[in-house]
């Protein structure tokens, strides 16, 4: 689908709203992941407000596209986006990680049936998505126009299970499967290339016979074009390696692996997050905040 200038501006505003909600949620919860959710806000905004066939009023519609979040620890961006899209009240976001809340620290489908999977153990998402893509082909045939989108982290590619799924996806020629890799180059212990070098992910996927694209994950036009191209591939599954900036939107957080799972407790941490919220509300000081 074509993106107009007006739609791009709308998506930019939605992504910023999502980022603000992420910071507010983490402040309220006193725990959770920061860098990944902020970095993926643009992609989530594009998917939920432009790409996905979905209906928040009928989340179990058999006609819906499916979205599998493999790296479940970035669920604050998932929850925030779904709330802004109308799946549940935005006010519920403040219950993140609270006892009895539906918004667990990792997505739990038993509590939120409109989630496609529960996730937490890293490396399982592509396997789950491959299974869904095969089931969809069995149910509806190769001509189905439904897509299975799997969002996964670069760090998860340390897991052997991930590569087994990549092998099977190629063997089965799952053209209805689109994997989006969050290539932000960090994981909880440091930079991915220091912890376990992934080197050229594109070459690896190509060697496994996938259709591969590498794009700027913060460029709405580039991401939209990549998804459209992936949807047009019929003989193999597709992967979009999205280069993202962890902590995107808050300069003090960006590209710093320490914000992967930073704990927003204590006076200094709360000061950092309050400053981050101000940065987002004012777009880095470009506009005057209504909350000042």
Q: What is the average pLDDT score of the chain?
A: 88
How many other C-beta atoms are found inside a 10 Å radius of the C-beta of residue 95? 17
Contact 106, 118 (CB under 8 A): yes
Contact 59, 83 (CB under 8 A): no
288 or 206: whose pLDDT is higher?
A: 206
Per-residue pLDDT at 288: 43
Does 184 score more than 90 pLDDT? no
Does 96 score more than 70 pLDDT? yes
pTM of the full predicted structure? 0.89
Instruction: Tell me how far CA of residue 103 lies from CA of 46, 94, 152, 237, 240, in angstroms.
Output: 22, 9, 20, 31, 28
Q: What is the mean pLDDT of residues 227-254?
A: 88
What tokens does 230 get?
């992936």
226 or 283: whose pLDDT is higher?
A: 226
> Confidence class of residue 252 from pLDDT cuts 50, 70 and 90?
low
193 or 173: whose pLDDT is higher?
A: 173
Contact 12, 186 (CB under 8 A): no
Any idea which of 58-62, 162-166, 236-240 has the lowest mean pLDDT?
A: 58-62
Per-residue pLDDT at 286: 47
Selected from 3.40.190.10, 3.40.50.970, 1.10.287.3510, 3.30.460.80, the CATH number assigned to the domain covering 5-281 reads: 3.40.50.970
Nearest to 129 by CA among 206, 57, 68: 68
**How much of the chain, in percent, has pLDDT values that exceed 90?**
65
Range of 13-17, 117-121, 263-267, 277-281 with top mean pLDDT: 13-17
Q: What is the mean pLDDT of residues 78-101?
A: 95
Does 80 score more than 80 pLDDT? yes
Per-residue pLDDT at 32: 79
Any idea which of 208-212, 239-243, 286-290 has the lowest mean pLDDT?
A: 286-290
Q: How far is CA 209 from the centre of its chain?
A: 24
3 or 251: whose pLDDT is higher?
A: 3
Crossing angle for the helix pair 160-171 and 125-140, to the nearest 10 degrees: 20
Q: How far is CA 115 from the centre of its chain?
A: 13
List the domain boundaries for the chain: 5-281
Per-residue pLDDT at 290: 41
Any idea which of 11-25, 95-109, 201-215, 238-252 has the lowest mean pLDDT?
A: 238-252
Q: What is the mean pLDDT of residues 158-170?
A: 96
Q: Who contacts 34 (Cβ-Cβ below 8 Å, separation ≥6)?
A: 22, 23, 26, 247, 253, 259, 260, 261, 262, 264
Rounded CA separation 232/176 (Å): 10
């Amino acid at each position: 689908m074509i993106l107009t200038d007006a739609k791009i501006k709308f998506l930019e505003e939605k992504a910023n709203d999502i980022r603000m909600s992420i910071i507010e949620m983490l402040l309220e919860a006193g725990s959770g992941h920061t860098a990944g959710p902020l970095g993926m806000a643009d992609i989530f905004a594009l998917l939920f407000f432009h790409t996905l066939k979905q209906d928040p009023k009928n989340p179990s519609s058999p006609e819906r596209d499916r979205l599998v979040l493999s790296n479940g620890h970035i669920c604050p961006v998932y929850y925030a986006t779904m709330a802004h899209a109308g799946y549940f009240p935005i006010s519920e976001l403040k219950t993140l990680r609270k006892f009895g809340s539906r918004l667990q620290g990792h997505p739990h489908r038993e509590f939120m049936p409109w989630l496609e999977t529960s996730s937490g153990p890293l490396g399982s998402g592509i396997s789950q998505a491959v299974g869904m893509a095969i089931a969809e082909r069995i149910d509806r045939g190769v001509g189905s126009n439904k897509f299975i989108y799997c969002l996964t982290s670069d760090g998860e590619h340390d897991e052997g299970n991930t590569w087994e799924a990549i092998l099977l996806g190629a063997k089965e020629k799952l053209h209805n499967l689109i994997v989006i890799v969050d290539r932000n180059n960090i994981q909880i212990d440091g930079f991915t290339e220091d912890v376990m070098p992934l080197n050229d992910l594109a070459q690896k996927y190509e060697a496994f016979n996938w259709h591969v694209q590498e794009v700027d994950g913060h460029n709405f036009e580039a991401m939209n074009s990549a998804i459209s191209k992936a949807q047009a591939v019929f003989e193999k599954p597709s992967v979009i390696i999205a280069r993202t900036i962890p902590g995107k939107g808050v300069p003090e957080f960006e590209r710093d692996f320490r914000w992967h799972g930073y704990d927003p407790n204590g006076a200094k941490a709360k000061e950092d997050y309050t400053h981050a919220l101000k940065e987002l509300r004012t777009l880095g000081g470009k506009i005057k905040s209504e909350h000042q």
